[in-house]
Chains A and B, each alone.
Chain A
Amino acid sequence: MPTLTINGKEVMVAPGTNLIEAARAAGVEVPHYCYHPGLSIAGQCRLCMVDIEKTPRPTIACNTVAADGMVVSTETPRVLETRKSIMEFHLINHPLDCPVCDQAGECWLQIYYMQHGLYDPRMVDEKVRKPKAVPLGPHVILDAERCILCSRCVRFCDEVTGTGELGIFHRGDHSEIGLFPGRDLDNKYSGNVVDICPVGALTDRDFRFQVRVWYLDSTKSICPGCARGCNIEVHTSRRRPHHNEGRRVARLKPRFNADVNRWWICDDGRYGFGFVDDPTRLTRPIARDGATRVSGSPTYPGSPRASDALRLHTPTDRAGLSAPATKITWEEAIAAVVDALGRLDPAEMGIVASPRMANEDLFALKQVVEGRGLPPVGFRVPPRVPGDQDRLLIRADKNPNTRGAELIGLDGDVAAILAAARAGRIRLLWIFGHDLFQSAWPEAEVASALEAVDTLIWTGSNANPTSARAHWILPAAAWVEREGTFTNFQGRVQRFRQALEPLGEARPEWEILGLVLGALGAPVTASRAEHWFRALATAVPAFAGLTYQNLGDGGQPVRARALPAQLSLLGEASEGAVEAPSDV
């Protein structure tokens, strides 16, 4: 382990560590553009110059491996002067169009100019003109004039995805990033080039011109798009509600986790948040004509109040509600559910949980079921189109919490439940989240099962063809509107935090289930997701010892022996393990 001195501070680093990472270990930031810990060393931007004792001139830190006894200074007068020069070189042909650039506010040209530049501009000649607003693919757009040719995006496509769409073409100050002929930047991870682009050259077609980044709030979360559970940040626009076309979630960004996703997320996950602010959101409990009414429950007159309309989101025909729907109160909805649960024989009920529900929700559901003789809850619904999977991040299982549902023990046979419904043995179905018409099962079978029951209760965030057939709809909060944990395919339990208030009257499933449980007469003290997690950790051995505190930002694995034997937790964990920390 080499020990070196950086700005007078001694630090010990792993062999092979470069001086940028060694400096980080010593709490020193060496400015840089082209270096990225997840990519090969390019040494092109020349910004990361440092002084090394007994070396005649400043040296790039990215390509210098820390050696025992090395004495490094990052703030000598000539290093500061060199940095200033390099900043000037980076900016002489830059269009300086910050006022109309989406990167403004999170641009490393702006940041480093203020920290290390602050020279008086001397360039009075005409700048080099290059292509602007060039779509590279479905998600990314290029402004070649803003590009500083750090080649991070090129290296990402060469080294991480192995797809090689991008190259640097031409020479000298006419060099520009571009697509190889006949190619599009359409790999499954293309959005990452926007994240690693340190300037405004590559921007997100989805996000650009929507909202200024300084109006965004950031919340740590987990991507719900598949069983990987990539660590993300949810960026929300609340301070300027008229921006971003009124949508609250502006974008998702990857969050470094060495054991899960490193620096990256896939495009399906990145751009998969649209449902949160979609018109199909269910914002109030609903009773549909044909619902088996609870005695004494009043029927609401049809017209929704303006205060319920929630700007953009009213359950309408677009939500797939074909039959006349009536808004009801939560009290009425819970009473209806409890009435049905109490009235029927347990054998006449079927419950289909969702692997998109959080551990807390699933455990609350288990409390509702257990001790009442209810039949086993199932959660596995095979998708009509099998999910794609690759060697990088994407998992075939598009649910974030399949492992959690398994460990909590809700793994009943959904097909058998539906068969029982078709056979008339089940009179009440309670379905969480799923659209069974998107399953691998024939639509006619699904439809006959749903039609056969007297009472269909549906709980979820967005309307779909299955919810359209429900007699009772209990609207659930989207994952960004609540707290919770998912257990990824590796058995890693990870927290997601609340970024937004639930839309309308939507509530987290754990809260809905808590109300049901209370109405059934059980003492419920859990008033936060964390309370349910505590109960879960006490009751389910796999989760023993886990708390919100020790899960932290990066999550923790469940106890290894709780996992199925075929899953090599260590193997999977080490696959993504890296020593390097996160980067810009």
Chain B
Amino acid sequence: MSGERLLTRNFDRADSHTLKAYRETGGYAAWAHAQMMEPAAITEEVKRSNLRGLGGAGFPTGTKWSFIPKNHAGPVYLVINADEGEPGTFKDRYLLERDPHALIEGMLIAARAIRSDTAFVYIRGEYVHPWRRFSAAVQEAVEAGYLGRGLDVVVHRGAGAYICGEETGLISSLEGMKGWPKLKPPFPAIKGAFGQPTIVNNVETICHLPHIINRGAEWFAGLGTETQGGTRMYSVSGRVKRPGVYEASVAITLRQLIEDQAGGVTGNGRLKAVVPGGSSAAILRADEIDVTMDVDGLRNAGTMAGSAGVIVMDETVSIPEALMVVARFYDHESCGQCTPCRESTGWIHKMTRRIVEGRGRKEDLDTILDVSRRGVGTTICAFYDGAVGPYISYIEKFRDEFEALIPR
């Protein structure tokens, strides 16, 4: 099951990032059409398409837009989250590098839907080449009259913090503050960037909009499952023969993705585990990969679609070591604002490291599980809930491996 490529259709052209190439493949036709649609009609179309946010949370995009207050007098902002930081995820950089005009056209459509005349694109600081490519495309779009006539785009570079990919952390950072997530309520759609109603959407999500406008909500919805339309871009890494970004329907199974698209498992050739949706997703055992990759499919499997960063581990991979690496990441990236996350990410990292180094204690595993469960849902943002995904699942599903490392 490969199907039609939407987002990556131009990736094979050497000049795919140029306005010329984008126009030659039908670019900005959707925007021409959308300009004749009422904003509410665009939102309605997106709702019916079953497009869901592809940055991680999987929230229905049209529904999110509809939270903008109807009679707001001041500005409304569109913010594009291009702070792609979830370990195992590298799809948005390809979009920024190879099809930046798709993002610009999608932004034009989204901005019209929410009646915004200013959009911010927050690009991960390490993404230098994508930033250059996207900035050049913005320049082209201004010169061609797409931007600057009703929609201004501000490109903002991040400074290297994972938490700034959390939508309110991103807003804080954009505002010039430390990238701390904000208390909710109020939600960004009510009071977001600079105190104004704000919609934060992921790059890939927005890149889908031209296709939805061009070909209709029903067509888009039909590409996926009952509750999620379209395709998405899977970042496949780890022990596979052909790691990379693959676009496929959200209805593809994890097994199909690994075996058919990525060429199967490498290393010793025997699959041990897969993380299906970026490092925050719970791990799946080799016998759990016959699941569809849509938001609800993976939720029902006890994990999450997240950012569709698929990390494949063969039998030579040590799960305790993998958890230590993941725990080090969350320890390093916790913003430190609220207590449970700030304190337990460090603590759990220390415990996992001790176990891997052969200094574990019998009670450590249960302590990690207990600390993880106690912190879930007590924090300002979803960072800790994300960290807990691996903490709990790695230990619960591979406890033998951990216990084998603990001295008797």
The interface of chain A, by Cβ under 8 A from chain B, is 41-47, 49, 57-58, 63, 81-82, 85-86, 88-90, 92-93, 122-126, 128, 148-149, 167-168, 170-175
Contact = CB atoms under 8 A, between A and B. Distances in A.
A125 B161 CA distance: 26
Interface string B36-51: 0000000000000000
Contacts of A88: 374
Contact of B339 (A58, A124, A148, A170): A148
Contacts of A123: 347
A46 B338 CA distance: 7
A57 B377 contact: yes
B350 interface: yes
A168 B347 contact: no
A125 B380 contact: no
A93 B378 contact: no
Interface stretch (B223-231, B266-274, B327-335): B327-335
26 contacts: A43-B338, A43-B380, A45-B339, A46-B378, A57-B377, A63-B185, A82-B374, A82-B378, A85-B378, A86-B378, A89-B375, A92-B344, A93-B346, A124-B361, A125-B354, A149-B336, A149-B339, A167-B178, A171-B161, A171-B334, A171-B335, A172-B333, A173-B334, A173-B336, A173-B342, A175-B337
B180 to A, nearest CB: 9
Interface string B334-366: 111111101111110011001000000101000
B334 A172 contact: yes
B73 interface: no
B336 A170 contact: yes
A172 B163 CA distance: 11
A63 B187 CA distance: 13
B18 interface: no
A85 B336 contact: no
A284 to B, nearest CB: 57
Contacts of A124: 361
A89 B336 contact: no
Contacts of A63: 183, 185
Closest 10 CB pairs of A and B: A175-B336, A173-B346, A85-B374, A172-B334, A125-B350, A89-B343, A43-B183, A172-B336, A57-B377, A44-B338
Most buried by B among A44, A88, A124, A172: A172
Given A82-B378, A171-B333, A173-B331, A45 B345 contact: no
B13 to A, nearest CB: 41
Given A46-B339, A85-B340, A148-B339, A172 B345 contact: yes
Nearest to B363: A122
B367 interface: yes
A92 B346 CA distance: 10
A207 to B, nearest CB: 28
Contacts of B196: none
B343 A49 contact: no
A78 to B, nearest CB: 11
Contact of B347 (A45, A47, A92, A170): A92
Nearest to A122: B367
A168 B322 CA distance: 31
Interface string B115-142: 0000000000000000000000000000
A173 B345 contact: yes
Contacts of A82: 374, 378
Contacts of A93: 343, 346
B379 interface: yes
Interface in B30-63: none
B378 A175 contact: no
Contacts of B334: 171-173
Given A46-B339, A171-B163, A172-B331, 4 more contacts: A43-B380, A82-B374, A86-B340, A175-B336
Interface string B92-131: 0000000000000000000000000000000000000000
A82 B161 CA distance: 29
A514 to B, nearest CB: 59
A47 B64 CA distance: 30
Given A43-B183, A44-B339, A125-B350, A49 B378 contact: yes
Looking at chain A's contact residues, the main secondary structure is loop
Nearest to A41: B183
A174 B335 CA distance: 10
A132 B378 CA distance: 30
Given A85-B378, A125-B350, A172-B332, A90 B361 contact: no
Contacts of B335: 171-172
A41 B186 CA distance: 12
Interface in B288-346: 331-340, 342-346
Contacts of A41: 183
Nearest to B347: A92
B347 A125 contact: yes
Contacts of B332: 171-172
B324 to A, nearest CB: 13
B396 to A, nearest CB: 19
Nearest to A93: B343
Nearest to B184: A63
A93 B344 CA distance: 10
Interface in B182-231: 183, 185
Nearest to B182: A43
A516 to B, nearest CB: 63
B380 A44 contact: yes
Contact of B350 (A126, A148, A171): A126
Contacts of A89: 339-340, 342-344, 375
Contacts of A149: 336-337, 339, 342
Nearest to A128: B346
Nearest to A94: B343
B362 to A, nearest CB: 12
Contacts of B333: 171-172
B274 to A, nearest CB: 28
A86 B347 CA distance: 14
Nearest to B340: A89
A172 B342 contact: yes
Contacts of A167: 178
Contact of B337 (A44, A86, A148): A44
A356 B108 CA distance: 70
B378 A168 contact: no
Contacts of A42: 183
Interface string B154-193: 0000000101000000000000001000010100000000
Contacts of B183: 41-43, 63
Contacts of B378: 46, 49, 58, 82, 85-86
A149 B338 CA distance: 8
Contacts of A175: 336-337, 342
Nearest to B185: A63
A20 to B, nearest CB: 14
A82 B376 CA distance: 10
Contacts of A90: 339, 343
Contacts of A85: 340, 374-375, 378
B365 to A, nearest CB: 12
Nearest to A170: B336
A92 B343 contact: yes
Most buried by A among B163, B335, B339, B378: B339
A16 to B, nearest CB: 13
Contacts of B380: 43-44
A92 to B, nearest CB: 5
B178 A168 contact: yes
A122 to B, nearest CB: 5
A167 B363 CA distance: 38
Contacts of B375: 85, 89
A168 B338 contact: no
B388 to A, nearest CB: 13
Interface string B364-408: 000100000011011110000000000000000000000000000
A58 B346 CA distance: 24
A171 B340 CA distance: 14
Contact of B338 (A45, A125, A128, A174): A45
